[in-house]
Structure 1
Amino acid sequence: MYNEKQNPNQYWNTDIPMQNYYPVDFGSQELQFQTMDHQYTQESEMRFSNSPESVPEEEEEPPLLEELGIDTDQIILKSVAVLNPFQGSGTTDVSTFVHDNDLAGPIVFCIAMAACIFFSGGKAQFGYVYGFAVTGCIMMYILLNLMTTTQDVTLTAVASILGYCLLPVVILSALGIFISLRNPVGYVLSLVAVVFCSMSASRFFVSLLGDTNQRILIAYPCALLYGVFDLITIF
């Protein structure tokens, strides 16, 4: 029978310390694991960023001019070819110039010519320059297609040649900012610029068509077109 006077603590083992019955603090361990995971993540990101295979894609992107298809070195080479009247129609530079239908240079030359006319006090605006340029390219394209049956004559090729050969007139318009062209000296310089432009353009068109016998015939409409730009520059 149960003895009411019996000490109730005798059923408990008092030799075991009470601290062993305390609950385990898993929160601190979980926090420790989280810290280790965060540290491991930082170390792995640093190793991945230092690896040669993890180079950012932005550094490997080409320059903006290259993405737009603008080659400044090629524009300079074509400009030098235009200003060199001693090159024959069969040289390597002329052949490369003809088959590379670049329109970046002509656009830059048209903008430069319109800006020079504006600063020199001329009455012509940007619309006049681009209007005559587009009309002249279309008329020259039709004329060259009537003169030959080759398939190399395209509108972009005609526009590229006419635009690059406009460079002497652009130089004349830049000269008009500093001196007046409405005098005998200016008229002579204008005539020289027109002859220079028409002879350069006819040389490139002959190389494009492959017929050297038509150079004088091609130079005549080119002289008329560049004469219009010359008149815009002077007046």
Structure 2
Amino acid sequence: MAKEFNVPPVVFPSGGNPSTGPQQRRVPTVPFQPPRPANPNLPFMSFDVGSAAASTSFSTPAFGGNGVGIGSGFEDELPLLEELGINTRQIWRKTVSIFNPLRVNANLHEDADLSGPFLFLMAFGLFQLLAGKIHFGIILGWVTVAALFLYVVFNMLAGRNGNLDLYRCLSLLGYCMLPMVIFSVFSLFVPQGGVVIFAMGAVFVLWSTRVCTRLLVELASCGDEHRGLIAYACCLIYMLFSLLVIF
């Protein structure tokens, strides 16, 4: 006898079976898909990205009345030096005006600042350090005492009409240190204790004295009458700084 085998019925993909008749096709579902929420207005409760992106909108918040938001770039930001109150263009213009002792533009020095003087004093101390002399503390101390001395002398000569403040006096005195900085650079290549370095020191002292005297006379009132005494005080100050370079 022939052995019979039980063959299960074949289900075709089209949903039809020639033996059992048409069957309903099952719709495939995504694995691990959570059930949809009862409220269709909450798309974030499901994984339907398309509906969530379509129904959800974000706006850039704005702070203040100037319209600056989170999306604004750094183009509108001020440079760091200007935020700190350091105007590099103004410092450069004042420096250039000191280079010509015969034509000093006093209008550039009406706005006093200490950024340029501090830069010149640090440069002066650095070149002294290259010469084997550590004078940073001496330089800062002498500048402070010299500014107080020049402030007292000028206001005593001007009397009640003197309008020179200590801040402007320190600013002018520091900017006029530029010839001393140049002298400290040249002293690195000149033999110490010779006639050449003394002659150079005299020239740079006269340069600083003339510039400082002219700025003080033009920017402060009642200084033209006592120009000689003011020049003598400035000459003593810059002569002390030249001695640091020579010796």
The alpha-carbon deviation at position 96 of structure 1 amounts to: 3.3
Moved more, 154-163 or 56-65: 56-65
Q: Which of 121, 126, 134 is the equivalent residue of 2:136?
A: 126
Instruction: Report if aligned partners of 2:179, 2:208 keep a CA contact under 8 Å in 1.
Output: yes
CA contact (8 A) 2:93 2:108 kept: no
Percent identity, please: 31
TM-score after normalising by structure 1 = 0.76
Q: Deviations over 1:188-234 (max 9, x none)?
A: 00000101101110001111233423222101011100011000112
Counterpart AA for 1:108: L
Give the C-alpha shift of residue 53 in structure 1.
6.3
Q: In the TM superposition, what is the alpha-carbon distance from 1:182 to its structure 2 partner?
A: 2.5
User: Which residue, 80, 85, 89 being the options, matches 1:73?
Assistant: 89
**Structure 2 CA distance for partners of 1:74 and 1:127, relative to 1, 3 Å:** same
Where 2:82 maps in the other structure, the secondary structure is helix
Amino acid paired to 2:107? S
- 2:101 aligns to what? 85
Matches for 1:1-235 after TM superposition, within 5 Å: 25-27=35-37, 30-31=45-46, 36-38=51-53, 41=56, 44=58, 54=69, 55-56=71-72, 58-87=74-103, 93-97=105-109, 99-122=110-133, 124-148=134-158, 149-150=160-161, 152-210=163-221, 211-235=223-247
Structure 2 Cα separation of the partners of residues 175 and 163 of structure 1: 19
4+ runs deviating over 6 angstroms: none
Unaligned stretches of 5+ residues in structure 1:
1-24
The 1-side partners of 2:68 and 2:241 are apart by 55
Alpha carbons of structure 1 residues 152 and 58: separation in structure 2 relative to 1, 3 Å: farther
User: Residue 66 of structure 1 aligns to which amino acid in structure 2?
Assistant: E
* Alpha-carbon shift at residue 71 of structure 1 (Å): 1.1
Q: What root-mean-square deviation, in Å, do the aligned CA atoms of Structure 1 and Structure 2 show?
A: 2.8
Which structure's relative contact order is higher, taking Cα pairs within 8 Å and 6+ residues apart? Answer: 1
**What count of residue pairs does the alignment treat as equivalent?**
202
Where does structure 2 lack aligned partners over 5 or more consecutive residues? Answer: 1-34
Verify the 8 A CA contact 2:106 2:219 in the aligned structure 1.
no
Q: Which structure: greater helix fraction?
A: 1
Give the Å deviation of 1:158: 0.2
